[in-house]
Amino acid sequence: MAYRTETAVAAPSNEGAPQEMDTDVAIVTGGAGDLGRGVCRALTKAGATVVALDLDPSRADGVERALRCDVMDPAACAAAVEEVVRDFGGVSTLVNLAQGWNKMPLLEVSDAEMRLVFESGPMASLRMMQLCHPYMKARGGGAVINCASASGTQGGVRGEGVYAGAKEAIRGITKHASVEWGPDNIRVNVLCPVATSDPNRWPPTVIDRIPLGRLGDPETDVGGTVVFLAGPSGSFITGRTLFIDGGAGMYR
């Protein structure tokens, strides 16, 4: 398949660009969660101005601003993006981490549960991407980092069926957005992490399946990858799924 566009697309130049992200304005949804706090700290340390959106912004860390925003609410999302643009001059990076879901067998999943998982995951991710797109385009480009899961790419974990479906929807949207928005120099990638700041979050058997023998760190492993993808070093990477899982996927 050819991805030729009507107008020629010049390769983005890094000439004169700062290596740090000190001109970047980043929005992180789910930014007060376990991974979100680490991602926000990593982006801030790289020089970005970071705004976390979350149902509970009081838990945010290492951000310029934390806003209460339910990403299932279109008006709240629009207001949050408008506030960021008004106060910080634009948006260059969007990290979509917010996700609501509950573990349960597929036979027990209600319509309300399906709405929660799909509206907070793929629908909210696309909505935030649509809201940020014009501001990224106006800056000459930007980076979107979405969040999927090995639960979707590989399956096999009981009780995660609807969650897995929503995460695969996010990967599908990511791939198409990378094609549609490539001409705008907006790169769209998706992460599948295995990381936590809580060593007791999963049973030790989870570590047994990780070749590198440890869980990922939200700031250095996941946040570090986000900084890489959003910054100049990631300027030729789009449409990809990156597994930040210590090699765990090989065993599932």
Ligand X SMILES: NC(=O)c1ccc[n+]([C@@H]2O[C@H](COP(=O)([O-])OP(=O)(O)OC[C@H]3O[C@@H](n4cnc5c(N)ncnc54)[C@H](O)[C@@H]3O)[C@@H](O)[C@H]2O)c1
Query: Which residues contribute to the site for ligand X (CB under 6 A)?
Result: 29-30, 32-36, 54-56, 69-72, 97-100, 120, 147, 149, 193-196
Tell me if 23 sits within 8 A of 92, measured CB to CB: yes
Please, what is the minimum distance in Å from the beta carbon of residue 11 to ligand X? Answer: 31
Sheet strands side by side (includes 49-54): 65-68, 49-54, 25-29, 93-96, 142-147, 186-193, 241-244
Please, what is the minimum distance in Å from the beta carbon of residue 18 to ligand X? Answer: 28
Tokens 């385009």 belong to which residue?
137
Tell me if 196 sits within 8 A of 218, measured CB to CB: yes
Q: Catalytic residue at 3?
A: no
Q: Which two tokens stand for residue 233?
A: 């070093």
The smaller minimum CB distance to ligand X, of residues 48 and 195, is found at 195
The smaller minimum CB distance to ligand X, of residues 91 and 97, is found at 97
Residues 153/157/160/164 CA torsion (nearest 10 deg): 0
Please, what is the minimum distance in Å from the beta carbon of residue 54 to ligand X? Answer: 5
The smaller minimum CB distance to ligand X, of residues 162 and 235, is found at 162
- Give catalytic residue positions: 163
